[in-house]
Structure 1
Amino acid sequence: MAVDSKGKKLPSGIRQRANGRYEGRIKYDYKSYSVYADTITETKKKMRDLKYKLEHGLFVSKEKITLDAWYKTWLEEYKKNRVKIGTYTSYEKYYQSVIKSRLGSRNLNDIRGEHIQKLYNDLVKEGYALSSIKIVSAVLNGCFKQAERNGLIERNPVKLAELPRQTEKKTRQAMTREQQALFMEYAKESYLYHFFEVMLRTGMRKGEMQGLKYPDIDRKANVIHVRRTLKYIEHHGYIEDTPKTRTSTRDIPLTAAVLEHIEAQRNYWGFKVVNMNQYIFCNERGEALSRERIQAEIDRIIKRIRAAGHDFPRITSHVFRHTFATRAIEAGMQPQVLKTILGHSSLAMTMDLYSHVLPDTKAEEMEKIANVF
């Protein structure tokens, strides 16, 4: 029976290598297979997993398998039925456009930490945003993590590389009260006036607004049920998907003002019959609004504002969400309540909004307690 470096007896089929790691060997169909881990417990688990995969035809031999070949197996067998279609297509987009040409032809076992690090560094030099590099890292990490579990590689090289540091934090953009009033005044004649009002009064994401249907408006409970988002998928068009995160599926209180705008929108296009499965905010043909039409209308309104002699920055639809959050914080809404309404996955995301808004009011707040001392 094999023993470890301290003379302790090891379980059958396990030995300790010179580098201190453990190797577990099993035989199946007259062939020997090995797994590697840092502990005996982890080695035994990997041996059980490997045996299961061998017996159920899920094992892929590591003999000169390229990243390209393994990626296809990983995406189709391990991810396709576990992630949202938007995530799936995002993985494909980044693999095909960024990873494939740089690492795809290499054998899995030949890819080391320095290769992953060089990829990150090259992407920084080429001007890729940190958010994009993080997606590339997520694809590679998931792919190699499963390869390690399957015994195709000894160690995940992605863990040995460091993501680039965030050099400059993106400033959140929100309209001031004056800009907000100015925009909505010039938006009154727009066919998206009610869309902008509801988004501004609820903080809903653009895709959630696009996917809103009449049954989502619960008059009895006085809430808006956020149950879906519209997402554009290349070569597929717009599809209905689940909201961004688990906490994004939520109920938002339905105020009288929001209900008034939704009712006004119901009659805007003058459809003789309103299909209850129809999107509330749609085009003149009753079809889903595209992101291009929404941005084009925002740009058209801003053009009119500027033509009237006002200075106004270019904004996107996401600014309405930040503007809602800013007004909510200014009005004293508690972070935990705002988190729930916005559908943030963590309180830290909401507090980040607070850190953006509060510097403008901290001097005023300090004055309130000046006389306490």
Structure 2
Amino acid sequence: MKGSYRQRGCKCPPEHKKCTCGALWEFRIDLGKDPLTGKRLTKEKGGFETEKAARQAAAAFWTDYQRGMAATRGDRKTVAGFMKEFLEVTLVNEIGSTTYENKLAIMENHIVPQIGNLKLQKVTHADLQRFVNTLVAEGLNPGTIRNIMRLVNQTLRHAVVTGVIFTNPAAHVKKPGYKQKTHNVWTKEEWTKFLTSSAKSRLYPFYLIALNTGMRPGEILALDWDHVDLKRRVIRVDRTVVYTKSKGIEIKPSPKTDSSNRSITIPESVAAYLKRLKLGQKLSRLNLIIPGQRSDIVYNSALNKGMKNDIEAAGVPYITPHELRHTHATFLLSPKPFGLGIGIKAVSERLGHASTTVTLNTYAHVLENMQDAIAEALEETQTITNM
């Protein structure tokens, strides 16, 4: 904002440093050129007792003026048009490529068909509540509906920030309740049986690392030997495998959160195994611990198929590759003798969660069992006498 401030009609002598005659302050703002005439446009206003008051009034006017101009520019925008622009120009730089493609799919499959043609400035709370109610009636999973509305909310918040609309009509839309999904996990006995059975499997290093670190599958498949310090028994995690339609499969920096970048200490036996594996392994082009057979990187489809076959051979309950991570976390959190009873903060850091709240929400069922174990442990220490 270009502007100037002065006291109009001040009659004080030049040698006076401060005005004592009571002259009032005014502001003058440059509004740019008139698009029709090419002449400079200005706004002047006076009557302020102090320079500070004049500056505050100028700033308030400029904000209203800019929002009004933005609203004028956006009066023809639809929800679909503005959301597409928001995704392609702004959000693409803030999220990972896989997340970006997922949001594009959400927009095209759910949002555009139902509310895409609505004028952005005319969308109401009632419009969005009806939209949610329709999604519920269609039988969509509550988690999916929440993801859809998360994108709607993000878009409308951006519209507020950029001055296209003044309030976010999605802010208080009621969404269906969502219960955190419980995951299938193995007991320590099943875990041990599986590792024994799959010892000669090409994917055995994946299983061993997953069950002993709780790393995400993409993080393990992106792990190269440069990220493993076998002397200190530390794995450095800062990359993951991603797949997008536009670029295919590739390794990128972890797009989750800063906490995803972490160091994990591994047991001595795991470090010893990895040392033997490294000595006997042919160096792959990407120096990966678990390279692909037909490509440099293992695809999810190959991982899922291979693990399913190994599970069937071991005769243990079926779980997904990602549930190896949940098995690790559950074992750490579960009270003895079922697990190790490790504190929530340490487990959260090992898993690379953004906060302990994420860990608490994901493993609430495990923590409920811990309360029972605490009560039983306390019972063994009681010395209450009968009255």
Distance 1:173 1:45 in 2: 56
Of 340, 348, 363, the match for 2:357: 348
Of 90, 105, 108, the match for 1:96: 108
Residues 45, 99 of structure 1: alpha-carbon distance in 2 compared, 3 angstrom cutoff:
farther
Distance 2:233 2:116 in 1: 53
Which residue identity is paired with 1:344?
A: H
- Secondary structure of 2:250's partner? strand
Residues 28, 163 of structure 1: alpha-carbon distance in 2 compared, 3 angstrom cutoff:
farther
Shift, 1:220, TM fit: 5.0
Of 318, 322, 345, the match for 1:318: 322
Of 234, 238, 242, the match for 1:231: 242
Of 319, 329, 337, the match for 2:346: 337
Which residue identity is paired with 2:346?
A: V
What are the ranges of 5 or more consecutive residues in structure 2 without an aligned counterpart? Answer: 1-25, 36-40, 42-55, 334-338
Match of 2:190 in 1: 179
Contact 2:180 2:361 in 1 (8 A): no
Contact 1:50 1:150 in 2 (8 A): no
Distance 2:192 2:165 in 1: 59
Contact 2:180 2:362 in 1 (8 A): no
Shift, 1:59, TM fit: 8.3
Contact 1:172 1:356 in 2 (8 A): no
Of 127, 136, 149, the match for 2:148: 136
Distance 2:174 2:58 in 1: 26
Shift, 1:318, TM fit: 1.5
Say whether 1:282 aligns with 2:286. Answer: no
Of 146, 164, 167, the match for 2:158: 146
CA RMSD of aligned residues (A): 3.2
What are the ranges of 5 or more consecutive residues in structure 1 without an aligned counterpart? Answer: 1-10, 14-25, 33-40, 307-311
Distance 1:229 1:83 in 2: 14
Which residue identity is paired with 2:211?
A: L
Q: Max radius of gyration: which structure?
A: 2
Contact 1:194 1:264 in 2 (8 A): no
Residues 141, 43 of structure 1: alpha-carbon distance in 2 compared, 3 angstrom cutoff:
farther
Paired-residue identity, % = 24
Shift, 1:87, TM fit: 2.6
Of 290, 294, 311, the match for 1:302: 311
Match of 1:194 in 2: 205
TM-score w.r.t. the length of structure 1 is: 0.78
Give CA deviations for 1:33-60 in whole Å, capped at 9, x if unaligned: xxxxxxxx99956944964997xxx987
Of 289, 292, 302, the match for 1:293: 302
Match of 1:122 in 2: 134
Distance 1:43 1:165 in 2: 46
- Secondary structure of 1:157's partner? coil
Of 199, 219, 227, the match for 1:216: 227
Give the number of equivalent residue pairs: 332
TM-score w.r.t. the length of structure 2 is: 0.76
Which residue identity is paired with 2:162?
A: N
- Secondary structure of 2:330's partner? helix
Residues 318, 126 of structure 1: alpha-carbon distance in 2 compared, 3 angstrom cutoff:
same
Match of 1:158 in 2: 170
Give CA deviations for 1:88-136 in whole Å, capped at 9, x if unaligned: 2222111111111111122112221122112222222323223322221
Give CA deviations for 1:179-213 in whole Å, capped at 9, x if unaligned: 21222222123110121011100000011011111
